[in-house]
Amino acid sequence: MKIGILSRNRKLYSTRRLVEAAKQRGHEVHVLDTLKCYMELSSDEPAIWYKGDKLEGYDAVIPRIGASITQYGQAVIRQFEMTGCYSLVESVALVRSRDKLRSLQLLSRKKVGMPRTSFAHEVHNTKELIKLVNGAPLVVKLLSGTQGKGVVLAETAKAAESVIEAFRELKADFLVQEFIKEAGGSDVRCLVIGNRVVAAMQRTAQDGDFRSNLHRGGVAQLTKLTPSERATAVKAAKIMGLNVAGVDLLRSSRGPLVMEVNSSPGLEGIETATGKDVASAIIEFIENNSAPSKTRTRGKG
């Protein structure tokens, strides 16, 4: 097969591993800088250009789109889809997963476990927002935050009110969420490919923090998933319409709760913690599932 990896940097661990795995399995593979792809729209065949050449003959693309270029990245993916090329991450699924609120709305409709969450526009309903998540302690989360930035724990109702009011003043969009205390500063990253969790790790926050992000000094270790955790992770990926997803779960006293579903999960942390060859599993999935014009919008909402 001829495979394109949409990535801004060929030196990134995940990009390197995917290139390596594709070559090992006998494929032709090219790293394409997403921002350097440009598009031709006309009533002739849709086309994608790169450094003066028309990109042709690609059987599949693997999008690795950073949060800061979601908008342009989705247009590039969609253009590949228009040419009939299979995209591992559908353009619609990418955009859907990048919106924390939209993701939780879709998961809640399908009764997937999640922390109780509230969201509002009006200034005067701060107390209502707090009440909807059963009061403090609670978490306030910027919708645009990544790597644990903009995630704040408010221990008391007073603290919660003042954080919410401060975010309001700044005109920031945020969620209010029930704090899952019994998770003990840990979460579980499940790497889902198709209908399977192929690798999972538990991440635990540094002392004095509740955020387990590896970027914040969290440490990863192997963990064994329960059947209900596996089922929840696969179901969440399916609802989001993602073939490959990093599903983050909190272990709560009422079972696994989905916190978020990532469409470009990093491979370094999970391959290192588990010793699993996730990159090869991704290439294998493409071998078994890609076909011309197979990409279509799955999932709803």
Ligand X SMILES: Nc1ncnc2c1ncn2[C@@H]1O[C@H](COP(=O)(O)OP(=O)(O)OP(=O)(O)O)[C@@H](O)[C@H]1O
Q: Which residues bind ligand X (CB under 6 A)?
A: 115, 139, 141, 145-149, 151, 177-180, 183, 187, 210-213, 248, 250, 259-260
Question: Which is closer to Mg ion, CB of 85 or CB of 242?
Answer: 242
Select from Mg ion, ligand X, none the partner in contact with residue 211, using the beta carbon and a kind-dependent cut-off of 5 to 8 Å. Answer: ligand X
Select from Mg ion, ligand X, none the partner in contact with residue 63, using the beta carbon and a kind-dependent cut-off of 5 to 8 Å. Answer: none
Select from Mg ion, ligand X, none the partner in contact with residue 80, using the beta carbon and a kind-dependent cut-off of 5 to 8 Å. Answer: none
Which residue of the chain is nearest ligand X when measured via CB?
Answer: 146
**In angstroms, what is the minimal distance from the CB of 168 to ligand X?**
19
Residues that bind Mg ion (CB under 5 A): 260, 262
**CA 240 – CA 242 distance, rounded (Å):** 5
Q: Is 248 annotated as a binding residue?
A: yes
**In angstroms, what is the minimal distance from the CB of 173 to Mg ion?**
16
Select from ligand X, Mg ion, none the partner in contact with residue 147, using the beta carbon and a kind-dependent cut-off of 5 to 8 Å. Answer: ligand X
**In angstroms, what is the minimal distance from the CB of 242 to ligand X?**
14
Q: Is 98 annotated as a binding residue?
A: no
Question: Which is closer to ligand X, CB of 263 or CB of 290?
Answer: 263
Q: For the chain, give the secondary structure using H, E and C.
A: CEEEEECCCCCCHHHHHHHHHHHHCCCEEEEECHHHEEEECCCCCCEEEECCEECCCCCEEEECCCHHHHHHHHHHHHHHHHCCCEECCCHHHHHHHHCHHHHHHHHHHCCCCCCCEECCCCHHHHHHHHHHCCCCCEEEEECCCCCCCCEEEECCHHHHHHHHHHHHHCCCCEEEEECCHHHCCEEEEEEEECCEEEEEEEEECCCCCCCCCHHHCCEEEECCCCHHHHHHHHHHHHHHCCCEEEEEEEEECCEEEEEEEECCCCCHHHHHHHCCCHHHHHHHHHHHHCCCCCCCCCCCC
87 CB-near residues (< 8 Å, 6+ apart): 60, 61, 63, 77, 80, 81, 295
Q: Is 212 annotated as a binding residue?
A: yes
Q: For residue 274, what are its two tokens?
A: 């588990």
**In angstroms, what is the minimal distance from the CB of 50 to ligand X?**
29
Question: Which is closer to Mg ion, CB of 203 or CB of 235?
Answer: 203
Instruction: At 202, give phi and psi (nearest 5°).
Output: -95, 135
275 CB-near residues (< 8 Å, 6+ apart): none
Select from Mg ion, ligand X, none the partner in contact with residue 29, using the beta carbon and a kind-dependent cut-off of 5 to 8 Å. Answer: none
Select from ligand X, Mg ion, none the partner in contact with residue 167, using the beta carbon and a kind-dependent cut-off of 5 to 8 Å. Answer: none
Question: Which is closer to Mg ion, CB of 92 or CB of 259?
Answer: 259
Q: Is 141 annotated as a binding residue?
A: yes
Q: Is 178 annotated as a binding residue?
A: yes
Pairing state between β 60-63 and 2-6 = parallel
**In angstroms, what is the minimal distance from the CB of 273 to ligand X?**
15
Select from Mg ion, ligand X, none the partner in contact with residue 179, using the beta carbon and a kind-dependent cut-off of 5 to 8 Å. Answer: ligand X
Question: Which is closer to ligand X, CB of 180 or CB of 191?
Answer: 180
Q: Is 179 annotated as a binding residue?
A: yes
Q: Is 243 annotated as a binding residue?
A: no
Q: Is 44 annotated as a binding residue?
A: no
Residues placed in the known binding site: 141, 178-179, 187, 211-213, 248, 260, 262
Residues placed in the known binding site for Mn(2+): 248, 260, 262
